[in-house]
Amino acid sequence: MTGMALLEGPVNMYRVSQARLDRGPLNPRPRPDTPAMFRTEWNRFDTPGLTIYGAEKRVTAFVESLAYKAPSANDFAGLHEEAKFLGVELHVLLQELRDAGVPVEGVDADWRSERAMYELQYGTATWVDLANMDTLMAIRASGISGAPKMTISDLTGDDREVTTRIASWIRDQKLDTGGSTQGLRYPSKFGVSEGNHCWAVFMDKPNTGCSPIKKNFAADDPDLLHAIRITGVSVP
């Protein structure tokens, strides 16, 4: 399969999701077969069809779900310094500022109540290790990179014309067995450690290929509070 680095299942992951009647609990957003240049509003590794995202740890699933609201590095530094000066946790400071009417980066009041944490269990599927050197070499050799040099920073960056093009190419590749990959593994932009990667999952139909286990979460969930400390996003 074009020399890319492959990973074999089983794979377990977590996903924060808002159930929709038309798309089920995992809520995959259908994407049309649109040219890459028109995909600026897509998620990083969306492909034509259905793609969902998960993480190996709950805290990272929360982080990835809140990342779109993260403040700038300068604003985050200011919040961190103020929390340290006052001797309070960052989530406490953010809530106090919000209650006082001070604008902070955060999600709506109903964000938490409308969502649940899903544990997804995939069996003997095959995945592509996106950040592996062999995968990068295969992508560069394919001629479809869309970036001048094509490095890991391009593969995991914010240029949706590049990242969605690469994801679509990976999805179209065939394994030696004749099948396709289930998706790809990639590092979180907020950091990665052993056993703590993110996953993009290619789906043929909504909510297929896995057995989702739903669990609600509270405002004082330790992993949620940790994610707030990492991102600086207020969650009421």
In the chain, the number of structural domains is: 2
174 and 227 co-located in one domain:
no
Quick one: average pLDDT of 107-127?
93
| Longest CA pairwise span in the chain (Å) | 60
Task: Please list the residues that pair with 49 across neighbouring strands.
Answer: 31
Does residue 83 form part of some domain? yes
Q: What is the pLDDT of residue 154?
A: 92
Whole-model pTM: value is 0.91
192 and 81 co-located in one domain:
no
Q: Which domain holds residue 89?
A: 65-112+220-231
92 and 185 co-located in one domain:
no
Does residue 159 form part of some domain? yes
Quick one: average pLDDT of 94-112?
88
Does residue 141 form part of some domain? yes
Q: Rounded to an integer, what is the distance from CA 47 to the centroid of its chain?
A: 14
Banded pLDDT at 100 (limits 50, 70, 90): confident
29 and 133 co-located in one domain:
yes
Quick one: average pLDDT of 72-77?
91
Does residue 1 form part of some domain? no
Quick one: average pLDDT of 122-140?
95
179 and 143 co-located in one domain:
yes
Banded pLDDT at 151 (limits 50, 70, 90): very high
What percent of the chain lies above the pLDDT cut of 90? 64
Per-residue exposure over 141-173, b if at least 16 CB sit within 10 Å of its own CB, e if not: ebeebbbeebeeebbbeeebbbbbbbbbbbbee
Here the tokens at position 138 are 């295969």
Convert the pLDDT of each residue in 165-207 to its tens digit. Answer: 999 999 999 988 888 999 999 999 898 888 889 999 999 887 7
Cis upstream peptide for 212 (omega within 30°): no
Q: What is the pLDDT of residue 17?
A: 94
In the DSSP assignment, the letter for residue 36 is G
Q: What is the pLDDT of residue 20?
A: 80
Phi, psi of 31 (to 5 degrees): -115, 135
Banded pLDDT at 1 (limits 50, 70, 90): low
55 and 130 co-located in one domain:
yes
189 and 153 co-located in one domain:
yes
Q: What is the pLDDT of residue 97?
A: 87
Extended beta strands in the chain, E state:
6-8, 11-17, 50-55, 116-122, 126-129, 183-186, 198-203, 213-215
Does residue 236 form part of some domain? no
What percent of the chain lies above the pLDDT cut of 70? 99
Mean of pLDDT over the chain? 91
Does residue 42 register a pLDDT over 90? Answer: yes
Does residue 128 register a pLDDT over 90? Answer: yes
38 and 73 co-located in one domain:
no
Banded pLDDT at 136 (limits 50, 70, 90): very high
User: Angle at Cα 190 formed by Cα 189 and Cα 193, nearest 5°?
Assistant: 100
Q: What is the pLDDT of residue 13?
A: 96
Convert the pLDDT of each residue in 9-37 to its tens digit. Answer: 999 999 999 988 777 788 888 999 888 77
69 and 108 co-located in one domain:
yes
